[in-house]
A and B are shown apart, each in its own frame.
Chain A
Amino acid sequence: MSTETVISVRDLWKVFGHKADRVPRSDELKALTRRELIERTGCTAAVREVSFDVAPGEVFVVMGLSGSGKSTLVRCLTRLVEPTAGQVVFEGEDILGAGKRRLRDLRRHKFSMVFQNFGLLPYRQVIDNVAYGLEIRGASKAERLRRAREVIDLVGLEGYEHSYPDQLSGGMQQRVGLARALAVDPDVLYFDEPFSALDPLIRRDMQNEVIRLHREVGKTMVFITHDLNEALRLGDRILIMRDGRQVQCGTGDELVGAPADDYVRDFVRDVPRASVLTLRWVMRQPRPDDVLDGPELGPEVVIRDAVRTVLAADRPVKVVRDGTLLGVVTAEEILTVVTDVEAVA
């Protein structure tokens, strides 16, 4: 088993419709846009030729507008939707080749999912909802309840064990969903727009919750969202999708600093750049007249955090990694970013 990647996706296709499998096989059909494909064949290509790797402990975010194929993609990873073509390797095992029983085992032990609409069972109390996954895999009642209590505490639902879902607010219901996914102690958690149905304040709370949980339990996470700010807050790396295709995959500052095309540029236009971009993106080569004895900062320091130092220094700030001078930053570069959101490209 490779320690480098948990999930490795290669040339993944999902086409809905009649005789869908001919699409990925034909170079001609592959080249069509989504709309042309629907007109020609009646098939919808929800996911087209997507490839990426997810490292252990990473939070990998998939982002795109509505209809771009995010939900379909994440469901392909667990085969809730059967992929049309391609490869999904999970901890070294090609899960597209897994039999029914093996797939069930994987779902019971290796990965679990949190849904946009929670998917709770209304006739069960919180604790039984949380224990549902353990019940399915046949754990004893005592064991189930013990573990369920543990995760209920972990997500901050103590005291609500015996409530029914419809007695809880949306945010709390999603905590139940989260607890249910955590209860089976999976290696990977999949989130399909888990917070889109919540109002902004609660959404922020829940994002913090995920960040905290990630810190505490260190699970690998694949997180779907259409909200760029959410993606930037949570994601170690972000994959941007459009009409089923992947447009760009990289860290937040890579997307903002070097958007692959106008679609991505449009996406990141309103991002407060100073809080995403690092010095790496604004530093310039030292000029002969620069005085190089100012303060030093690393290249991964976010601009917002560097503002004070740079403005306070009366000479250029040096950007240094491992003792090597990479470049310098002065008030001029910083101010361009802070004042003009459009300038840097």
Chain B
Amino acid sequence: MATTTVGLQRTWRRPGKPVLVAAVLLAWVLIWVPARGVHTLGLSPADLTPLHHWLNDVNDTVGANRDSSPFFLYFFNEIRAAVDSLVTFLQDLIAQPSYGRPVPVLGWLGVVAVVAYVSWVFAGWKPALLAAAGFVFFGLQGLWEESMDTLALTLGAVVISLLIGIPLGIWAGLSDRFHKLVTPVLDFMQTMPTFVYLAPLTLLFLIGPASATIATLIYAMPPAIRLTAHGIRSVPRSAVEASESLGATGRQKLTGVLLPLSKGTIVLGVNQTIMAALSMVTIAALIDAPGLGKTVIKALQTLDVGTAFNAGLAIVVMAVVLDRVTTAAGNRVRQTGRAARFRRPLLAVFGVVAAVCAYLSHTYYWAAEFPDDVTIGGTLAKSADSVALWAQQDLSTATEAIKNAITYALLNPLEALLVESPWWLVGAVAVLLAALLGTVRSVITTAACVALLIGTGLWQDSMTTLAMTIVATAMVMLLGVAVGVWMGRNRFADRIIRPVLDAGQTMPAFVYLVPFLALFSATRFTAIVAAVVFAAPVAIKIVADGVRAIPAATAESATAAGSSAWQMITKVQLPMARPSLTLAANQGLIYVLSMVVVGGLVGAGALGYDVVAGFSQGQLYGKGLAAGAAIVLLGIMLDRIARASSPSKGSN
């Protein structure tokens, strides 16, 4: 009896979430038509709100007190000085003229030799050759000094990240309480677009290499902490217990069992830290970090595709080299896990060779300065330019068609809806969606985010960025589902595509802008396509893994029941992979957001532009800071709504 009543109530009282969501969206459009254009909280690029003025004042006050307030004198300035001296030391070593000499301590020959030697020792022959070739290529590109600056900054940030991150990771591996404490912090740090770390740091540490390095190490540390903790936590209980049963002290347990058995995972963390650091160091060019990133940004800002391509290529090469070497080193640790003792003599011989090369490069000019008469950078840049020109002229019908189709069919209407709606309408829709999909908590978070967004004074820019983010995410999900399902169903496709995706994921966000700038010139659309390409690998992989993880028995029984391939996908695989789809959307969203913002550099405008402008123009500093905050708020809001709609966490 009771159950039937409940069943009945359910059938007539709940029309189902999709219907309700659709109803909310429809209502939005209906109200938008008459209410269009009022209460849109627009703010023109040069205008400032009181908040922005106040932030400018804060900046000025901080600037004025930087050398008097004890807080700065004894804390922030000390940190900056320490980081600065580390970075300067590394730059002196390999990148910049130093110690009264016209060249760095180690010239190109020495660096190539040392890098190859170290790669050989830890990773093996092939990675060593790749590394040597890659580094010589930087010289050939005419980008030796810039590459070494990037490397120096990356190394500096990585060293500090690991020095702090690995001990914290060990602590999190040993202590449940600390683990519980840091996990949400790390989660939060990883959902933040790389961009927004920069602005607040400049407030404390000024613009320059120190700030760049600090931003980088904050961004690069989480993987080191996470993977170290994970490695320690997954050491087999039996090995730990055995050592305890023999009376090992805490330290003996750590050095004898936990660290050796988690070494492989920790090296994986080192790899991810290095890749994250490289990615961030290039972006930190926005706050005046020297190196390849700066070359790319300058070129992007002047729409010089050739130069951007040349420097972007160097970043790609560096990413590939660093990734290959550290991955190979990690595999070696994981597979053998023991010291190799077979090549002592070789070790010494090559060590001497590397030392001799280092000495030569310290002493002789030819080995110090990369000869310019062999550079091919100019040729590369010119070819890239002509390809870009050709693309813009001869492909323009095709590229224009795609661009216009997406711009007019998707982007413009959505942007009109978001930007021209009164703020209260968008806010109400967001809160209603959160209420429909999530819990009380998601409603509160969303409402708070809306209120704070208005507070930043950048509501309209936020809506423009949001429109781009939504369009790009939709495209990412389309790609993610199409390619992901294909890969999930077809092992062969998986084997071919996965390495490409893996490689794509190691690339610094930045370099994606270059080719699309060539194809689509400086528009919102360029930023969107770059964001899609940047975010697609994550989404595709998650979907593919989700489809693959469906138990074979389920798929078999559906096949036995005579499902067609299409029925199989729509009736079995997609519904069962729904948690993965949500996760893919969530991750895709975060990646897209960070890239759309970077797109501010290439004409995407909106929040990204506000942030970039804030770095370069003093009176826009406060506005840039507020824009950074707006990006974080957007990120949190989208993340919450996406998470709330995930079946595992949703209400019923």
Binding site for B on A (CB under 8 A): 78, 80, 103-109, 112-113, 115-123, 132-133, 135-137, 164, 177, 180, 184, 190
Contacts and interface: CB of A to CB of B under 8 A. Distances in A.
Among all A-B residue pairs, the 4 with the closest Cβ atoms: A119-B242, A107-B247, A108-B247, A119-B238
Contacts of B261: 121-123
Interface string B220-256: 0000000000000000101111111111110010001
Contact of B256 (A104, A115, A121): A121
Contacts of A113: 242, 245
Nearest to B338: A123
**Residue among A78, A105, A108, A121 with the highest chain B CB neighbour number at 10 A:** A121
Given A136-B256, A137-B247, A121 B338 contact: no
11 contacts: A103-B247, A108-B247, A113-B242, A115-B241, A117-B236, A118-B238, A119-B240, A119-B241, A121-B261, A123-B261, A136-B247
Contact of A80 (B245, B252, B256, B338): B245
Contacts of A133: 246-247
A104 to B, nearest CB: 4
Contacts of B243: 119, 132, 136
B234 to A, nearest CB: 13
A137 B247 CA distance: 8
Nearest to A81: B241
Contacts of B249: 104
Contacts of A180: 242, 246
Nearest to A177: B242
Contacts of A104: 247, 249
Given A107-B247, A190-B245, 15 more contacts: A103-B247, A106-B247, A107-B244, A112-B246, A118-B238, A120-B239, A120-B242, A121-B257, A121-B260, A122-B261, A122-B337, A123-B261, A132-B246, A136-B247, A137-B247
A123 B238 contact: no
Contacts of A106: 247
B338 A164 contact: yes
A123 B337 contact: yes
Nearest to B244: A80
A120 B337 CA distance: 14
Interface in B478-531: none
A186 to B, nearest CB: 10
A136 B245 CA distance: 11
Given A123-B338, A132-B256, A164-B338, A117 B247 contact: no
A136 B252 contact: yes
A166 B276 CA distance: 35
Contacts of A135: 256
A136 B239 CA distance: 14
Given A123-B337, A164-B338, A115 B242 contact: yes
A117 B246 contact: no
A285 to B, nearest CB: 51
A80 B244 CA distance: 7
Nearest to A75: B241
A125 B257 CA distance: 14
Nearest to B257: A121
Contacts of B245: 78, 80, 107, 112-113, 115, 190
Interface string B320-364: 000000000000000001100000000000000000000000000
A113 B241 CA distance: 10
B260 A119 contact: no
Contacts of B244: 80, 107
A115 B257 CA distance: 16
A119 B337 CA distance: 16
Given A104-B249, A105-B247, A132-B246, A123 B260 contact: yes
A148 to B, nearest CB: 13
Nearest to A137: B247
A328 B295 CA distance: 105
A164 B239 CA distance: 15
Task: Name the residue in A108, A119, A135 with the highest tally of chain B Cβ atoms < 10 Å from its Cβ.
Answer: A119
Nearest to B249: A104
A136 B337 contact: no
Residue among B242, B249, B257, B337 with the highest chain A CB neighbour number at 10 A: B242
A341 B248 CA distance: 50
B239 A119 contact: yes
A93 B236 CA distance: 32
A116 B246 CA distance: 16
Contacts of B260: 121, 123
Contacts of A78: 245
A193 B252 CA distance: 26
Interface in B536-574: none
A108 B236 contact: no
B265 to A, nearest CB: 14
Contacts of A108: 246-247
A113 B238 CA distance: 11
Contacts of A123: 260-261, 337-338
A188 to B, nearest CB: 12
Contacts of A122: 261, 337
The winner among B240, B244, B257 for most chain A CB atoms within 10 A is B244
A292 B248 CA distance: 65
Contact of B238 (A103, A109, A117): A117
Contact of B248 (A105, A117, A136): A136
A136 B241 CA distance: 14
Interface centre among A109, A120, A122, by most chain B C-beta atoms within 10 angstroms, is: A122
Nearest to A135: B256
A80 B246 contact: no
A115 B238 CA distance: 7
A80 B532 CA distance: 53
Interface string B8-35: 0000000000000000000000000000
A116 B236 CA distance: 12
A118 B236 CA distance: 11
